[in-house]
């Protein structure tokens, strides 16, 4: 099979994810990252729909991308309007994007019930729009919206719509599972029937409402589609779009089908976390190939087998996609994770040594107190280093104070002050925040970023509190987990105490110290 063309629509379909609002600057940064990965096409947005997308194209087209072409997205002309007079098509031309992707109606239900026109007029809308754009010297991709639903209801009309695009000169016809309700076998059957009637290159665009978007994309590739559209991290409206991260991973590691350059595949992990950070949508730990837990091993039997042969519990080398193997530490895993973690810290320990025995005892005691290191690998690394006296703190806490105040104007705010010793010098700082942990974080950073500027690249992503003994009521011990992230990685730290502020402080300090430790490696 020839190389699969990767068409990314994160900046358009991905921006329709609930809770996401990319700035123009965000979109430029994402486009640059996707170009670095070797994506073939980057769909910048719909210049006729909003000022933000309209602003993106002149900025993006000034960039000198090495691998990617910028595509503009829009629709066919409106009913009973000449293509040359249609404002949407005019905006696509004004964007100066070398590639234009337009969608048109395939499902007769949408033609008659949604856009309220005739089936014949819809065919003319498709043909006129593609022809107009081709005369303007654009590469034209035609997205056959709701193709599979339309074909199942009225196959002869659905076929007429894509033939109209083909006859008008479309460079690729993309079959869209817009509602995300199609099964892989249906994809195979329908494309198998349709491909006999068309000579234009075919593509696939699927949504994930059945959690089958990747499977449907692979089924379409199996049937001859050479372009696959999707988003990174599966962003998109409702349940999201086909996840290009997973698709590229499968193509290169399982099917041995080329898409992006081979030497770019190890950048998948880095790209996924970059998109997670800039979109402020957490990458699922169990995300295939690139997730934090994708190559994590917890059970003692599994770990023992992995040490003997990694093929025992891994389907692919994690380094192939830029990820890494992790042995998760818990009371279930025995001594080996401690030995392996120490080796990573350049400390050679024998499994039968007194140090390892003591570490395991301390670990079991910590877990009995409520610590759960399998959920906070960064805190575990610090625990090992501190226990082995292989760690020098970056700063020393002299004390902190936190207060929360509600004023007569109903405003509620927190204030924190910290006193630290850094490089032998006493430092004091105070700051306000939305809550006590935010205020502590701000006060700490005001001091520490003067000594450690890299902390400016780090931010807190998530904060979780769990009550460990509900019978204890308000005096119960709590476990706090804080997830932090910088431009290349994320990590989780933990604190446990009866006082939620103290537990939060422990997790916060570990988070900062792990970041500083990581930067030294």
- CATH of residue 452's domain is 3.30.160.270
Do 179 and 320 lie in one domain? The reply is: no
Give the pLDDT score at 471: 55
Q: Are residues 49 and 160 in the same domain?
A: yes
Q: What domain range includes position 504?
A: 396-520
pLDDT at 332: 45
Domain-embedded: residue 287: no
Give per-residue pLDDT as tens, 316-326: 999 899 988 77
pLDDT reading at 514 higher than 80: yes
- Does 173 score more than 80 pLDDT? yes
User: Does 451 lie in the same domain as 309?
Assistant: no
- Please report which confidence band the pLDDT of residue 335 belongs to, taking 50, 70 and 90 as the band edges: low
Which residues, 6 or more positions from 44, have their beta carbon under 8 angstroms from its beta carbon?
A: 11, 12, 27, 31, 53, 56, 57, 60, 70, 71, 72, 73, 95, 97
Instruction: Please check whether residue 322 lies inside any domain of the structure.
Output: yes
Last residue of a domain, one of 354, 387, 420: 387
Q: Do both 35 and 156 map to the same domain?
A: yes
Give the chain's mean pLDDT. 89
Does residue 153 fall inside a structural domain? yes
Model pLDDT for residues 239-261, shown as the tens digit of each residue: 999 999 999 999 999 999 999 99
Convert the pLDDT of each residue in 402-456 to its tens digit: 998 887 766 788 999 999 999 889 999 999 988 898 999 999 999 999 999 999 8
For the stretch 451-481, pLDDT in tens is 999 998 898 888 888 787 655 555 678 889 8
Model confidence band, residue 328 (pLDDT cutoffs 50, 70, 90): low
Is residue 489 predicted with pLDDT exceeding 80?
Answer: yes
In a domain? residue 446 = yes
Are 231 and 82 members of one domain? Answer: yes
Task: Please identify, among 279, 313, 347, the residue that sits at the C-terminal boundary of a domain.
Answer: 279
Q: Which of 360, 387, 414 is the last residue of a domain?
A: 387
Same domain, 135 and 225: yes
Is residue 407 exposed (0-12), middle (13-18) or buried (19+ Cβ within 10 Å)? Answer: exposed
pLDDT at 321: 93
Whether residue 326 sits in one domain with residue 459: no
Asked whether residue 10 is domain-assigned, the answer is yes
Quick check: is 364 in a domain?
A: yes
Phi first, then psi: give them for residue 404, nearest 5 degrees. Answer: -125, 135
Count of structural domains, the chain: 3
Q: Would you say residue 135 lies in a domain? A: yes
Instruction: Note the pLDDT of residue 187.
Output: 98
Give strand ranges (E) for 130-255.
139-145, 172-177, 202-206, 227-230
Q: What is the mean pLDDT of residues 184-206?
A: 97
Q: Are residues 355 and 420 in the same domain?
A: no
**Percent of the chain at pLDDT exceeding 70:** 93
Q: What is the pTM of this model?
A: 0.74
Average pLDDT of 267-294? Answer: 89
Please give the pLDDT value at position 331: 46
Residues 423, 350, single domain; the answer is no
Same domain, yes or no: 233 and 312: no
Q: Is residue 290 part of a domain?
A: no
pLDDT (0 to 100) of residue 85: 96
The pLDDT confidence band at residue 337, using thresholds 50, 70 and 90, is low
Q: How confident is the model at residue 42 (pLDDT cuts 50, 70, 90)?
A: very high
At 93-139, the pLDDT tens digits run: 999 999 999 999 999 999 999 999 999 999 999 999 999 999 999 99
Examine the domain organization and report whether 64 and 198 are in the same domain: yes
Q: Are residues 348 and 210 in the same domain?
A: no
437 to 164, 264, 394, 402, 431: CA distances (angstroms): 60, 39, 20, 9, 11
């Amino acid at each position: 099979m020839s190389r699969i063309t990767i068409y990314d629509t994160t900046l358009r379909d991905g921006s329709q994810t609930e809770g996401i609002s990319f700035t123009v600057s965000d979109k430029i940064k994402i486009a640059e990252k996707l170009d670095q990965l070797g994506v073939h096409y980057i769909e910048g947005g719909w210049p006729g729909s909003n000022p933000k997308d309209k602003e993106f194209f002149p900025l993006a087209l000034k960039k000198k991308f090495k691998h990617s072409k910028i595509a503009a997205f829009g629709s066919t002309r409106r009913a009973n309007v000449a293509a040359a007079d249609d404002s949407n098509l005019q905006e696509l031309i004004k964007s100066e994007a070398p590639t234009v992707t337009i969608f048109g109606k395939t499902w007769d239900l949408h033609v008659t019930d949604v856009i309220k026109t005739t089936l014949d007029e819809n065919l003319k809308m498709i043909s006129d729009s593609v022809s107009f754009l081709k005369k303007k010297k654009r590469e034209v991709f035609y997205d056959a919206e709701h193709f599979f639903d339309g074909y199942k209801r009225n196959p002869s009309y659905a076929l007429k719509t894509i033939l109209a695009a083909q006859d008008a000169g479309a460079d690729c016809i993309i079959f869209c599972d817009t509602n995300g309700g199609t099964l892989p076998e249906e994809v195979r059957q329908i494309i198998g029937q349709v491909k006999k009637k068309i000579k234009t290159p075919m593509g696939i665009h699927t949504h994930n409402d059945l959690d089958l978007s990747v499977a449907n994309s692979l089924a379409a590739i199996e049937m001859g589609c050479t372009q696959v559209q999707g988003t990174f991290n599966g962003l998109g409206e409702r349940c999201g779009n086909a996840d290009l991260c997973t698709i590229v991973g499968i193509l290169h590691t399982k099917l041995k089908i080329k898409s992006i350059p081979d030497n770019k595949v190890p950048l998948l992990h880095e790209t996924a976390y970059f998109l997670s950070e800039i979109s402020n949508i957490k990458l699922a730990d169990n995300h295939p190939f690139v997730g934090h837990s994708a190559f994590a091993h917890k059970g003692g039997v599994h770990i023992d087998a992995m040490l003997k042969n990694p093929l025992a519990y891994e389907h692919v080398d994690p380094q192939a996609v830029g990820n890494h193997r992790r042995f998760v530490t818990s009371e279930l895993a025995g001594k080996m994770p401690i030995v392996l973690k120490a080796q990573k810290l350049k400390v050679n320990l024998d499994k039968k040594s007194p140090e390892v025995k003591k570490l395991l005892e301390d670990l079991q005691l910590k877990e009995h107190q409520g610590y759960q290191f399998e959920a906070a690998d960064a805190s575990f690394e610090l625990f090992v280093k501190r226990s082995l006296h292989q760690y020098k703190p970056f700063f020393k806490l002299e004390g902190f104070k936190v207060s929360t105040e509600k004023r007569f104007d109903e405003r509620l705010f927190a204030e924190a002050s910290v006193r630290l010793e850094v490089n032998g010098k006493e430092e004091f700082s105070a700051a306000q925040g939305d809550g006590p942990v935010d205020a502590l974080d701000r006060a700490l950073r005001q001091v520490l970023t003067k000594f450690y500027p890299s902390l400016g690249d780090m931010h807190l992503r998530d904060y979780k509190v769990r009550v460990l003994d509900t019978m204890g009521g308000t005096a119960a011990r709590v476990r706090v987990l804080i997830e932090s992230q910088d431009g290349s990685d994320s990590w989780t730290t933990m604190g446990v105490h009866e006082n939620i502020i103290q537990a939060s402080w422990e997790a916060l300090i570990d988070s900062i110290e792990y970041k500083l430790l990581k930067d030294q490696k």
